[in-house]
Amino acid sequence: MLKLTYTETDFHLECITQPIEDWIQARVILSLRAGQSLCVEPSTASFLLPVDLPGVEMLKAQTRCCDQEVITVCVCDTEYLEVTLHGSWISYSRDEATGIFVTTLSDRIEFFLYKLWQEAQACQEVKS
C-alpha cells in the first residue's frame, strides 16, 4: 500500500505492508474512539517527479503494463512528469486540503515509485 500524507506545504510518501482495508479500518476506529469526524472517499492524488530522474522511463513502461485505472504517468512540461493515482482520500472533512491518500498497486510498482520519490527528494535537497 502507498500512503501519501498531504500537509499545507508538502507531502510525504510511504510504502506500508499492511493491507489497505486493515489500515483504513484502524483509522476509522481510532477516529470513532477519539470522537472525531472522518471522511473516507474514492479520489485521485497526483505528484510530480523530475523527467530526468534515473528510472522514470522504466516507471512509464511498467505503468503501461498495469491497470491504467489505478496509475497514470504523463509529461507535464520539460522538467516534470505527473504521477496520478486512484485510491481513497481520508480527511477530517469533505473539503479538507490536508489529509492522507492511500492506494494499492503491485508490490513491485509501489516499491519502485517509492524509491523514485526518495531519489527526487534527495536531488531536491542537493539543489537547495
Question: Does 128 score more than 60 pLDDT?
Answer: no
The pLDDT tens digits of the residues spanning 39-86 come to 999 999 999 999 999 888 888 888 877 656 789 898 889 999 999 999
pLDDT computed for residue 123 by the predictor? 79
Q: Three-state SS for 16?
A: coil
The pLDDT tens digits of the residues spanning 3-21 come to 999 999 988 999 999 999 9
Mean pLDDT: which of 29-38, 58-67, 103-112 is highest? 29-38
pLDDT computed for residue 27 by the predictor? 95
**Interior angle at CA 85, CA 95 and CA 26, nearest 5:** 65
pLDDT computed for residue 65 by the predictor? 74
pLDDT computed for residue 38 by the predictor? 94
pLDDT computed for residue 1 by the predictor? 96
CA 111, 116, 122, 125 torsion-angle sign:
negative
C-alpha cell, 27 = 483509522
C-alpha cell, 85 = 493515482
Q: What is the pTM of this model?
A: 0.89
Dihedral angle of Cα 81, 100, 91, 73, to the nearest 10 degrees: 20
**Interior angle at CA 117, CA 13 and CA 15, nearest 5:** 40
